[in-house]
Amino acid sequence: MSISSGIPTPVRAFLKDAGLDITAPTTARIFTNRNLAFEQIPVVGFDMDYTLAAYNQVELEALSLACTLDKLLAAGYPRVLAETQADPTFAVRGLMVDKKYGNIIKMDRHGYVGRAYHGHRKLPRSERKSLYREQRLGTERERFVAVDTLFALPEVTLYAQVVELIDTQPGSWPTKSGPPSYATAWDDVRAAIDKSHQDGSIKEKIKADLGRYFNLDQNLGPTLHKFRSSGKKLFLLTNSYYPYTNAVMSFLLPSSERYPSWHDYFDWVIVGAKKPGFFTENEPFQQLTCAGEKIGEPVREPMSGRIYEGGNQGGLQSALGVHGDQVLYVGDHIYGDIVRSKKSSGWRTALIIEDLEHELEVRHTQHHVIDEINHLAKLRIALTDEMTAVRYLVAQLGRHTPEDLVARGVDPAQATKLLEDTRKTVRQRHQQLRRYEAETADTLQRRIDQLTAAFNPYWGSVFAARYDLSQFAAQVESYACLYTSRVTNFRYVSPVKFFHTPLRTMPHWIVD
């Protein structure tokens, strides 16, 4: 309920202007995995890319694919690769690349591979299970690569195209040795996209047309101001270096009377942080001027109101002057921002998951399908349980003879017929259950396929795998205290809000 319910209109308008009476739409909700008293968080830190800075994913992926493709062609990859049409919907966050077999896979929280593609060919269940039934995924670090960020999606999309080319047109490679192995192809794609970032191919084009590659959110400045006006100190901690950071942040937070520069929103600015190493190494902080030039000698602890490059979590923690659990760090990278900071620093964490808006929209529009899936799943479990019990009864009846009934007092003249009639009745019941269960399973699968396609035609929901949480969702649940779709969703909540975790249950807590 709105806090201004029953309050006169002029007062309601005042509360709304103060950010105290804005009802958040469903897609802007902040979700809680671990109780957090926002009032007891005096410091809030932010990553930049995909956190404060929301990219236009379609334009960025097109640019990344084009730059990476240019590098691959220059390295000797066949020209026909440029003629293939990459599907931008193919890759999603939370996948894993199997370099050995050229497969892209999705796992549930237990490591079970429920879906896999070789190129764009979906592996049938038998092939998928033969490859991954005994494999403890992730233990072979040289073989498996996690797809943790939206930045990584173009390379997965392009890798699938390369795998297709290796399989279907091996003769297109100009070298006598033929196409590369799947593992080498992945390394080539990774090297090409890394080079595109390192030589400025991507970022220089972005800087030249910021409006094309970023979704400008007019609520970003007011949201950060709301933090500051409530007494919280803010810091920026990004892996991007100063020239790029300055260009992007100047675009996102233009000059205003209250904040002449984007720097003024933050008490500390740290660029080129090299996360996740920032949380585990001990690099010093190098001060920079507002023009990005190095000034003075490296220091162990950053001072407020200045710009630094590099550094480490311990030095920053000392400068913040608070305990680790009094810092909330907001980022988009499940490993580099959330898992590593949680394990190494004790900071509270908020994960920005841009995909969440699509997730919530689909769950809203497909709620009737989801309800039917839940009903059918429960029905199938009940049918399976009864069918199993009846099948066992059939087996037991097959072991008995009329003499067994006679021994229990049944009339010998009726024993044979009674046993046969009972067997027939039980077999008929088993057959009925089998037909009903098969029909239910078929309908359930069609509904699941319908819902999966609504999320993503290849992988379904980022947060689900088969009938369980995806590995990505399990990481979100384990390491992100809060998660939401964008930073500006915080404008809907009070700076003294207590974020409550929903009641968690175990199977034995719910008894029908």
318 neighbors 460 (Cβ within 8 angstroms): no
Buried b (16+ CB within 10 A) or exposed e, 31-45: bbbeebebeebbbbb
Q: What are the structural domain ranges in the chain? A: 30-54+214-353, 57-211, 360-461
CA-wise closest residue to 356 among 466, 476, 253: 476
Residue 237: predicted pLDDT: 97
Half-sphere exposure of 124 (CA within 13 A, CB side): 2
Q: How far apart are CA 168 and CA 162, in angstroms?
A: 10
pLDDT tens, residue by residue, 205-223: 999 999 999 999 999 999 9
Residue 337: predicted pLDDT: 72
Q: How far apart are CA 212 and CA 113, in angstroms?
A: 37
* Angle, vertex CA 428, rays to CA 393 and CA 512, nearest 5: 60
Specify whether 49 is catalytic.
yes
Structure confidence at residue 85 as a pLDDT band (50, 70, 90): confident
**Mean pLDDT of the region 230-253:** 96
- % of the chain surpassing 70 pLDDT: 94
pLDDT at 5 over 70: no
Buried b (16+ CB within 10 A) or exposed e, 407-437: eeebeeeebeeebeeeeeebbeebeebeeeb
pLDDT tens, residue by residue, 469-495: 999 999 999 989 999 999 999 999 999
**Mean pLDDT of the region 435-460:** 95
Catalytic residue among 17, 21, 49, 404: 49
432 neighbors 56 (Cβ within 8 angstroms): no
Q: How far apart are CA 170 and CA 279, in angstroms?
A: 44
pLDDT tens, residue by residue, 46-70: 999 999 999 999 999 999 999 999 9
Residue 1: predicted pLDDT: 42
pLDDT tens, residue by residue, 320-335: 999 999 999 999 988 7
- % of the chain surpassing 90 pLDDT: 72
Residue 509: predicted pLDDT: 82
185 neighbors 177 (Cβ within 8 angstroms): no
**Mean pLDDT of the region 407-417:** 87
What one-character DSSP code corresponds to residue 348?
E
pLDDT tens, residue by residue, 126-177: 999 999 886 556 567 789 999 988 888 999 999 999 999 999 999 888 777 7
In the chain, helix, strand, coil percent, each to 5?
50, 15, 35
Residue 138: predicted pLDDT: 55
CA-wise closest residue to 352 among 319, 330, 375: 330
Residue 70: predicted pLDDT: 93
196 neighbors 113 (Cβ within 8 angstroms): no
Residue with tokens 């991007």: 240
Q: Which CATH architecture has domain 30-54+214-353?
A: 3-Layer(aba) Sandwich (3.40)
Residue 285: predicted pLDDT: 97
pLDDT tens, residue by residue, 369-401: 999 999 999 999 999 999 999 999 988 888 888
Specify whether 47 is catalytic.
yes
Residue 2: predicted pLDDT: 46
Catalytic residue among 17, 21, 47, 442: 47
pLDDT tens, residue by residue, 333-374: 887 777 777 777 789 999 999 999 999 999 999 999 999 999
